[in-house]
């Protein structure tokens, strides 16, 4: 039978209050609304923190959409003031930085899926394209991830020499590229392929290796390495230099 409590969470049994439940049973046992209620701390007139949290989740449809909500839109939600909004956005940014720290100084070959998960969380809801360069050292460990370009990717927007200059500045030995498709579809365009080929060529000239170029869409990705295209471009570079 479903438990029915009065509105005030403070009057609930300790094991059912979100904060105490987390400490007793672990964060993984809490629902999205309960976790969000801990962050909100208090509700508003006629609604406790869980009611308010559930209202937010219902309004936005998911945690993902709530995380992506612009600040001005959150200001219009009853009970969410600027201080709470700032804390909320700070928590999201901290989670992103935590994920970045978890993949830095680890071999790319061992954490390629982790890199995708990190980039996916950050890039899947963007309404414009962002091109990222992942710098690797000689042991293929992640040094850093840099936003290199914003906007629709075209040959006129992405200059291989600028990418190489960026890589040299960070003493990178190898590179991985990633960008998002706001449409959600991950099939590479002819321009995506042309840019990737040019970047592979430019990196090879400087003695750097390109491991992959990942396109991020909605719940999916396209990897140039998985498709054999990185190897194909490298072989084409070798043939040209042997001619």
78 pLDDT tier (thresholds 50, 70, 90): low
**32-77 pLDDT per residue, tens:** 888 888 888 777 677 788 888 888 888 888 777 788 788 888 888 7
Are the beta carbons of 118 and 104 closer than 8 angstroms?
no
Helix, strand, or coil (residue 70): coil
Task: Please state, for a pLDDT cut of 90, what percent of the chain lies above it.
Answer: 33
1 pLDDT tier (thresholds 50, 70, 90): very low
Mean pLDDT (the chain, rounded) = 84
**89-116 pLDDT per residue, tens:** 888 888 878 877 777 777 776 767 777 8
Are the beta carbons of 123 and 116 closer than 8 angstroms?
no
Residue 153: what pLDDT? 59
Are the beta carbons of 85 and 71 closer than 8 angstroms?
yes
3 pLDDT tier (thresholds 50, 70, 90): low
- Listing DSSP states for 122-178 in one string gives HHTT-SS-EEEEEEE-TT-BEEEEEEEEESS--TTT--HHHHHHHHHHTT-SEEEEE
Q: What's the whole-number mean pLDDT along residues 195-204?
A: 95
The tokens 């500045």 sit on which residue?
A: 169
Residue 121: what pLDDT? 76
Q: Which of 2.60.40.650, 3.40.50.620, 3.40.1410.10, 3.40.140.10 would CATH assign to domain 104-242?
A: 3.40.140.10
The tokens 């190897």 sit on which residue?
A: 231
Residue 95: what pLDDT? 81
Is pLDDT above 60 for 224? yes
Are the beta carbons of 178 and 214 closer than 8 angstroms?
yes
47 contacts: CB under 8 Å, gap ≥ 6: 7, 55, 79
Are the beta carbons of 230 and 224 closer than 8 angstroms?
yes
Is pLDDT above 80 for 156? no
What is the residue extent of each domain of the chain?
Answer: 9-96, 104-242
Question: Model pTM?
Answer: 0.69
Is pLDDT above 60 for 5? no
**79-89 pLDDT per residue, tens:** 678 888 888 88
Is pLDDT above 50 for 4? no
Number of helices (H) and strands (E) in the chain: give both, helices first.
10, 5
Residue 68: what pLDDT? 79
169 contacts: CB under 8 Å, gap ≥ 6: none
Is pLDDT above 80 for 28? yes
The tokens 């042997």 sit on which residue?
A: 242
**130-139 pLDDT per residue, tens:** 999 999 999 8
229 pLDDT tier (thresholds 50, 70, 90): very high
Q: What's the whole-number mean pLDDT along residues 173-177?
A: 94
152 pLDDT tier (thresholds 50, 70, 90): low
């Amino acid at each position: 039978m479903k438990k029915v409590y009065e509105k005030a969470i403070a009057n609930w049994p300790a094991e059912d209050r979100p904060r105490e439940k987390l400490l007793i049973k672990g964060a993984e046992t809490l629902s999205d609304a309960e976790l969000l209620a801990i962050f909100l701390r208090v509700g508003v007139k006629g609604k406790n923190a869980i009611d308010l949290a559930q209202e937010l989740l219902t309004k936005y449809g998911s945690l993902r959409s709530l995380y992506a909500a612009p600040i001005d839109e959150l200001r219009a939600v009853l009970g969410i003031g600027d201080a709470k909004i700032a804390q909320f956005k700070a928590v999201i940014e901290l989670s992103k930085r935590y994920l970045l720290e978890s993949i830095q100084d680890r071999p790319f070959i061992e954490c390629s899926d982790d890199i995708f998960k990190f980039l996916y969380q950050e890039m899947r809801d963007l309404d414009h394209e962002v091109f990222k360069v992942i710098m690797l050292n000689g042991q293929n460990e992640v040094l850093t991830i840099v936003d290199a370009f914003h906007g629709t990717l075209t040959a006129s927007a992405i200059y291989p020499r600028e990418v190489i200059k960026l890589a040299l500045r960070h003493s990178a030995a190898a590179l991985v590229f990633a960008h998002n498709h706001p449409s959600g579809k991950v099939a590479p365009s002819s321009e995506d392929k042309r840019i990737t080929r040019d970047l592979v060529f430019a990196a090879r000239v400087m003695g750097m290796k390109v491991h992959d170029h990942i396109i991020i869409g909605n719940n999916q990705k396209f990897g140039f390495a998985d498709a054999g295209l990185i190897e194909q471009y490298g072989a084409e570079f070798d043939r040209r230099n042997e001619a």
